[in-house]
Amino acid sequence: MNSKAIAVMASGRGSNLKVILESVAAGECPVDVQLVISDKADAAALEIARDADVPHIMHLNPKDYQDRAQFDAACADLIDHHGCQWIVLAGYMRILSSSFVRRFRGRIINIHPAILPAFPGAHAVEDAVSYGVKVSGCTVHLVDEVLDGGPILAQAVVPVLDDDTRDSLHARIQMEEHKIYPATLKRMMEDGFSIIGRKVIWNS
């Protein structure tokens, strides 16, 4: 198995996939994007992957499978078939089944638009605005069975302005996501890490 090979799972615009692929092309992020999987046939992420000549690009329709576990098993088989060591979630909007997480434990990476453990879930940005926090940001973390609950790899802080809306704050958070995600993948490949309890200890 190629230790730098990754599968990216995406559902939407693919902005994080795009910056990862651009970082790879620029020689700044030493990962090998072998596979992109989307659960949406019209996801812009698929076109981004095609434009970047990703070797394997797949749309799997969840409606073709009996349940979430079967759909995830099909995705997992593709990931193993193409020799991917890591799974990188980039705007992937489906909650992964426990069986999928167990199969790839410690090898699934996600980015979340909040400073975890604050504001987990799908509405993190609007929750932060509604709560009135003065800072928010983004978190790169390992995925476990708890939604947005895995060990934290990296975080970046973004100030929340008095006149921020969900969209204005999210735009600034995404600017940080686009820096921190490829940088974290680079560090994973070059330095590696160990986990003690909940704490990620970088080897550098």
Do 126 and 86 belong together in one domain? no
Residue 2 has a pLDDT of 67
CB atoms within 10 A of CB 143: 24
Do 100 and 148 belong together in one domain? no
Structural domain that includes position 194? 110-204
Do 24 and 88 belong together in one domain? yes
Q: How far is CA 29 from the centre of its chain?
A: 15
Domain boundary among 104, 133, 153: 104
Count of domains forming the chain = 2
Read off the CATH number of the domain in which 87 is found. 3.40.50.170
Pair 87, 107: CB distance under 8 Å: yes
Domain boundary among 104, 136, 153: 104
- Residues marked active site are found at 112
Do 80 and 117 belong together in one domain? no
Residue 46 has a pLDDT of 97
Do 94 and 72 belong together in one domain? yes
Residue 204 has a pLDDT of 80
Report the alpha-carbon distance of residue 40 to residue 55 in Å, rounded: 19
Domain boundary among 74, 104, 134: 104
pLDDT in tens, the chain (204 residues): 568 999 999 999 999 999 999 999 999 999 999 999 999 999 999 999 999 999 999 999 999 999 999 999 999 999 999 999 999 999 999 999 999 999 999 999 999 999 999 999 999 999 999 999 999 999 999 999 999 999 999 999 999 999 999 999 999 999 999 999 999 999 999 999 999 999 999 998
Do 99 and 114 belong together in one domain? no
Do 4 and 99 belong together in one domain? yes
Report the alpha-carbon distance of residue 193 to residue 153 in Å, rounded: 9
